[in-house]
Structure 1
């Protein structure tokens, strides 16, 4: 049952700022037709999200004289808190920031043409002008250059070093781009291969190797698009980006322990959807802004959806966790207590093994004195050298021992 108002609902009085504006501004007034479904009402409300606009428009070079226009889109982007705006205290007008450079000795204002940049190379300061710095940074114009094709099996999981992008043809830039792009997408998907390209997304950006992985269009039962057709741009690492790992060697788990952990993992599996979890930091930020704008005593509490629900987890697992602990840990194991460090014992006598004393000869000490490396010796070695030469020292600091040895050997 709809609550109708005589003459229609006047949207322009209050809700004008939160509904999506129509193509014709004259329609933004009286809303005569009510919404029958919640989905229809949500289409009118302007969602609080990032703008879906192209990040860059590039040319995909498939060969000599064969270029198509594509648009580079962000597949995922981190949601940042809005930056605070500086206002003038008396009138609340926005203020602008302006940087100026002054000479350190004369205090005179420097123009941009009078400022140069330098880079230290080989203990020398290489001075460069601004146009020289720009020419060094520039490798090539922004574009995608096709190198070759490889099977999708060659693309490993550790090759994904950052979030991917998505490219789609731009027909309004170059006519025929959609037709050639669709043919390339179809053939790559049929042969299960990806295109290896060199990518420069923006001006003065360093080149990167990327893999264009094909993605066909998927639609639901209602002929609604689930995933669009195009190529996922996977950024590949360079040779010096891959680091060899030396993981610590631990005793392998038994098959019974592995099977028990499989049961625990199976019990805790659930269907993950990224849109079901809100960022608690951003939600708290907006709650605070809402409380300040509406003069509320305190902001509303938020539900942190990323906190684990311990009670439900314990109820779901039951005795599986305790069974796994009994299989892995010893009976007297207590994770709250710290284990005492183990001392190595000698083979005879059961006492701690002492390190043998190392004595330095007079020739070695004089060599250290001549080279100025007495400071690299340890305090026990310096004390032993003082006792060896019969030097009596009142202090035990390292510098006092070095001064005493220098006075003795230098005389």
Structure 2
């Protein structure tokens, strides 16, 4: 039974309030009504001796009760998941057990079911959960018949050392399926030969992250707009239709006109009947799968198990549907047999990849992939084929002469030894770096451009004003410096740089002349701005206005505390010293100074 709930679109103020609740634990606990005993207790690795378990259930009951009162109707079926490594938090106290049972009964009345996830301790990983000490009475509310108690606990309790059990395992699988959504790149056909083929689905494993394109909206309704394009002839002024348009391409100094259909034909690399994967043969895996040939991201190929349903309810439609199901079953069986035999013999399949109409035909390898499951039996890596593209001969830069006749003859013995030492230093440097996952993983590092874009977009959407670039840079760099915290990394990097480019290497000399000139001008402008800020601060300090303006909190600048009459020029000098906008009326400049002082004091208090 499902209860649909209509959810409103959250405003910027509500999202900002949620951010404050997530960042401030004391405010969050006060909002949720969690008692102080729960806030001050240490939940890992064990509960404190003076901690009462019913306080957790009491806090959950207050939360669900407040949601029910806000909605004006009872709460729908909800789950309260408790993570623990202690099978008896009451320490044998019957009073605490009775209090916990009472809170569990109240939660059941509100429609909340309690589930338990038990973590086995490192000191006794083979000892399972003993539910008879505490949790059996709490989960059953003390009134369930003993003959159904095992089935009930199997549904409500998950011991992480067991394989998946009952409904909780399916609940966890559904959560994982929602987190890892599979999006098919395209559907095509795998031709084996003699008119035999298999419908397959190709999945893209890695996709480049990019900033989304902007969408033009109408100002009043925020609805997407539609663009209409019209063309006129410059000579006659006649309005042109799509059929009147030609596309000119210059060839041998002559402008050749083409229609849209002719251009589509030129871009088409393969006819429609030749699209797909076409098998050419088999080869040993070690013979063709080379690391140096890996120039593109592999894709995943899996049989298409979907059945196309045709409209109709008669006997002909049912017969056609049954024939379609039989065809899909036979193709899946053929795909499975081919996969298992290639996996058994350690071979790969050589195919011609023409999956798209406008893509360049390229030879590729179908590499069988082993299925992998985790400790609970959930599938982590599915069985199927990896589609690995092979390069052409033109994709490599092959020297005209042998390496022994060109390179080694021009490199002296000292330089050769220095290069060997630089290679050893590079290997030592990579092995010394402390990566978060034990080895380099691109998922451990964020893209600065995309991260900065979404941070600014979030700040503007939540009506927070301009985003601070220093905070974004600090957040980005913090994840990058984690691999540089290992000892001797900086020293090894300096030694490798000295061996590779020398001590007198200037990186700016590698830039183009225009780029180098632009960099020098930007540095000069930055130095001039810094000098102007320092001179403005020194001048204000001589006049005795620096500390007064730094402590200014209201617009009364001519009060008793002012050392002299403050003019607009003095306020603009203070703004220049802090890099703030200087133009505008006196009241506007004064308001910027007050905001600057307020934000600085808040930062110092934090």
TM-score, with structure 1 as normaliser: 0.65
Q: Does 1:68 align with 2:221?
A: no
Conserved 8 A contact 1:8-1:30: no
Q: Does 1:202 align with 2:336?
A: no
1:376-408, Cα deviation, whole Å (9 max, x unpaired): xxxxxxxxxxxxxxxxxxxxxxxxxxxxxxxxx
Q: Distance in 2 between matches of 1:131 and 1:327?
A: 58
Q: Give 1:185's match in structure 2, choosing from 330, 336, 339.
A: 339
Cα distance, 1:222 vs structure 2: 1.4
Conserved 8 A contact 2:351-2:364: yes
Conserved 8 A contact 1:9-1:32: no
Conserved 8 A contact 2:189-2:197: yes
Q: Distance in 2 between matches of 1:129 and 1:322?
A: 60
- Written as runs of structure 1 = structure 2, the 5 A alignment for 1:152-171 is 152=285, 153-171=287-305
SS of the equivalent of 2:191 reads: strand
Q: Give 1:232's match in structure 2, choosing from 386, 390, 402.
A: 386
Q: 1:133 to 1:30 in 2, by over 3 A?
A: same
Q: Does 1:294 align with 2:462?
A: yes
Q: 1:87 to 1:117 in 2, by over 3 A?
A: same
Q: 1:288 to 1:132 in 2, by over 3 A?
A: closer
Question: Match for residue 208 of structure 2?
Answer: 78
Q: Does 1:99 align with 2:229?
A: yes
Cα distance, 1:292 vs structure 2: 1.6
Question: Match for residue 417 of structure 2?
Answer: 253
Q: Distance in 2 between matches of 1:293 and 1:337?
A: 40
1:85-111, Cα deviation, whole Å (9 max, x unpaired): 212335433211223322121222211
Conserved 8 A contact 1:140-1:200: no
Q: Does 1:285 align with 2:453?
A: yes
1:208-250, Cα deviation, whole Å (9 max, x unpaired): 2221111121112211222111111112223333332589765
SS of the equivalent of 1:98 reads: coil
Structure 2 residue runs of 5 or longer lacking an equivalent are: 1-55, 84-116, 118-170, 308-326, 510-606
Q: Give 2:283's match in structure 1, choosing from 143, 150, 166.
A: 150
Q: Does 1:54 align with 2:184?
A: yes
Question: Match for residue 274 of structure 1?
Answer: 442
Higher RCO structure (Cα 8 Å, ≥6 apart) = 1
SS of the equivalent of 1:132 reads: helix
Conserved 8 A contact 1:290-1:299: no
Conserved 8 A contact 1:59-1:69: yes
Question: Once superposed, what is the RMSD of the aligned Cα atoms?
Answer: 4.0
Conserved 8 A contact 1:137-1:206: no
1:14-54, Cα deviation, whole Å (9 max, x unpaired): 9xxxxxxxxxxxxxx735322335996x949986x9x6321
Structure 1 residue runs of 5 or longer lacking an equivalent are: 15-28, 340-411
Q: 1:100 to 1:164 in 2, by over 3 A?
A: farther
Conserved 8 A contact 2:281-2:351: yes
Q: Does 1:212 align with 2:366?
A: yes
- Written as runs of structure 1 = structure 2, the 5 A alignment for 1:291-330 is 291-299=459-467, 301-302=471-472, 303-305=475-477, 307-308=480-481, 312-313=485-486, 315-317=487-489
Q: 1:30 to 1:289 in 2, by over 3 A?
A: farther
Cα distance, 1:60 vs structure 2: 0.2
Q: Distance in 2 between matches of 1:125 and 1:220?
A: 62
- Written as runs of structure 1 = structure 2, the 5 A alignment for 1:106-117 is 106-117=236-247
Q: Distance in 2 between matches of 1:206 and 1:321?
A: 42
TM-score, with structure 2 as normaliser: 0.46
Q: Distance in 1 between matches of 2:236 and 2:508?
A: 63
Cα distance, 1:172 vs structure 2: 2.1
Cα distance, 1:75 vs structure 2: 0.6
Q: Distance in 2 between matches of 1:327 and 1:125?
A: 55
1:249-272, Cα deviation, whole Å (9 max, x unpaired): 652126766655544333226423
